[in-house]
Chain A
Amino acid sequence: MSVKPTVQLENVTKIIGKKTIINNISFDIYPGEVFGFLGPNGAGKTTTIRMLVGLIKPTSGKIHICGFDVRKHFVQAMQRLGSIVENPELYKYLSGRENLQMFARMLPGVDDERIQEVIDLVDLTARIDDHVRTYSLGMRQRLGIAQALLGRPDVLILDEPTNGLDPMGIKDLRLFIRKLVDETGLSVLVSSHILSEIELLADRVAIMSHGKIVKVGSVSDLVGAQSAGVDWRVRDSFRALSILQESPHVQAAELYDDHTIHTLMDESKTSILNEALMKAGIEVWTIERKVQTLEDLFISLTGGDHIV
């Protein structure tokens, strides 16, 4: 790609005490893409994000935001970055507007007009002068996003943005992020431990486990890259299993439960196999194509780490 990345991590390691929390990770994020950061709790996602926003010093390695080193040119780097680290931590005893005014004073070139602009953008106009402590979690999340967008950043970092949101809220957030990226061309880094979320939202994904990045790739490449699986539901699964295992078109077949067989096979040969089963007098109930989900991939990559 000839486009310059907005976020660059180069061999970043964080050691606390004797424990290696983050082990030599590298990735780039480009303008106009949503980058998913996936891993179970404790994999090191939040630690990585804290290093990105300058809250934690990496033990070694370099982090650049739009070409500015986070440690050496902290101010310039942060001017190009908006973030929510973990929950949107705002001043509960101030109103939403006061919060934004306060953060605006810490950014160059943000006036009242811009403040109103982001309030409208996240649709908080009606409640903006109420105390934040009276806000619902979803509203706090939106105020957090407003805060992150105040300085017209090139990079937006959202750490577990769907925590505590209802399904409707999650969908709204997804559409909002997509629209934002399409309109402004910024880069978004979204972390999550929920696979389905990232799958729908992200263009590219980094999968993290035990402080390491185990895989980076586009969602479409990762999902469905491997040959497809086909699930067979039959009455007599033992006999069916032996027929399927003997077939040259099937690479693997295993019994899943009393009536279900998972196979990994060339899906164009489904009807041939179906015919073979019927000839043997085996009742076939359903044949289902199983697309490999991020979840399958994740389990195969991390050896079944805890994941929701």
Chain B
Amino acid sequence: MSNPNMLGLIRNEVMKIASKKRLPIVILILVILVSMFTYAQYREIQEKIEKQGTLDWRVELQQEIVDRQNRLASSGIQNDFRQFLEFDLKQKQYYLDNDINPNYPGAPTFIRIFFSQGITLVLPLFIIIIMADIVSGEYNDGTIKTLLSRPVRRWRILMAKWLTVLLYTSMLMAATVIVCYGISGIVLGYDGWTAPILTGFQASATGEFATEYIHTLPMWKYLLMSAGLAWVVTAVVGTISLMISVLVKNTATGIGSMMAVLIAGTLLSSLGSSWTSSKYLVNLNFDLINYLEGQAPPIEGMSLPFSLTVLGVWTAGCLAVAFWNFTQKDMY
């Protein structure tokens, strides 16, 4: 066994982060957010019951389909958006035809929606809150000098920090599931783990709606996949912010640049598909759950394997830069 071992180094990092109480703060934010969403959901349900006098999802889905048809019939909508609507319409029709409720009421559905909405912004933001100063904080406090004059090679110290990022990413996913489940269940009920959900919708090369890959999954399996994809995205964001933390000594600057990366991603992907090579940008590949849901991808030619590959290449690149810089740099 090499001494000092990696586990001890990780323990050190956890000790530092734990004493800054970052995870409890993030969980508190999560609790507040989820409580608000749950309340909003509750009000929506009440309103629907008032309007329709019933909570039949079939009626609701039928209304949404009619709405899509009306919008498609109107002139002057953009080609991209038309395609999106058509796809959405067909998906909803498919749910209705197969008698599957796409929004089975219950806490598990809430978790599903939270992951789907949170994967591009909220969850990455949380990992930035926890991790942004993992290296730059050591520069700011001057502790980097004490840390790097230990009999431990620099790459091992950075490796411990990176593994800590992955550890906290996992804890963040677990906390998200637990908080969402616990709070939303009060209003929505706690069952629905085995409700069927459809996945595998695909646009064919020509953008047509294809049904050959569609299959049902129990909710718990689908959630596991969602959480896994959210883990990947959050870990990638954590890795990029680790690199920025190494390169930029000022924590505030580091957080700022990470925010810019995230927000630029959401802006670009909503701007549309004219700039096709933008699909190689890391921040346009964060919406992995999109592929599970079977929405049309933001840019043609993007798929789950494509996005995972792009994320993988970027992660490897960021790690290489971070490790190279950290092990070679003179520390003043």
Interface residues of A (CB under 8 A from B): 50, 53-57, 74-79, 81, 83, 85-94, 98, 102-103, 105-109, 147, 151
Contacts and interface: CB of A to CB of B under 8 A. Distances in A.
B15 A102 contact: yes
Contact of A107 (B145, B146, B150): B150
A147 B151 contact: no
Interface in B129-164: 141-146, 148-153
Given A89-B141, A105-B11, A56 B330 contact: yes
B331 A98 contact: no
Contacts of B332: 50, 55-56
B230 to A, nearest CB: 30
A102 B12 contact: yes
A151 B15 CA distance: 21
Contacts, number: 86
Q: Is the interface of A mostly helix, strand, loop or mixed?
A: loop
A94 B15 contact: yes
B317 interface: no
Nearest to A151: B151
A82 B213 CA distance: 64
Across chains A and B, which 9 residue pairs bring their CB atoms closest together, nearest first?
A78-B151, A89-B142, A105-B8, A53-B149, A55-B331, A106-B150, A79-B151, A56-B330, A108-B3
B152 A75 contact: yes
Nearest to B5: A105
Contacts of B12: 102, 105-106
7 contacts: A74-B153, A77-B151, A81-B149, A98-B15, A107-B4, A107-B150, A107-B151
Given A89-B143, A89-B146, A94 B151 contact: no
Contacts of B221: none
Contact of A93 (B3, B19, B153): B19
Nearest to B10: A105
B16 interface: yes
Nearest to B3: A108
B143 A76 contact: no
Contact of A86 (B11, B142, B148, B152): B142
Nearest to A77: B151
Given A50-B331, A89-B143, A91-B143, A78 B16 contact: no
B9 interface: yes
Contact of A85 (B3, B15, B149): B149
Contacts of A109: 3
Contact of A103 (B19, B20, B148, B150): B150
A90 B151 contact: no
A135 B141 CA distance: 16
B325 to A, nearest CB: 14
Given A53-B149, A76-B151, A91-B16, A108 B143 contact: no
Contact of B145 (A77, A85, A102, A103): A85
A50 B141 CA distance: 17
B145 A94 contact: no
Most buried by B among A53, A89, A98, A106: A106
A90 B142 CA distance: 8
A93 B11 CA distance: 16
Nearest to A79: B151
Given A56-B331, A56-B332, A78-B149, A106 B141 contact: no
B4 A94 contact: no
Contact of B151 (A74, A92, A93, A98): A74
A103 to B, nearest CB: 7
Contacts of A147: 146
Interface string B1-29: 00110001101100110011000000000
Given A86-B145, A108-B4, A93 B20 contact: yes
A106 B7 CA distance: 11
Nearest to A103: B150
Contacts of A79: 151
A107 B12 CA distance: 13
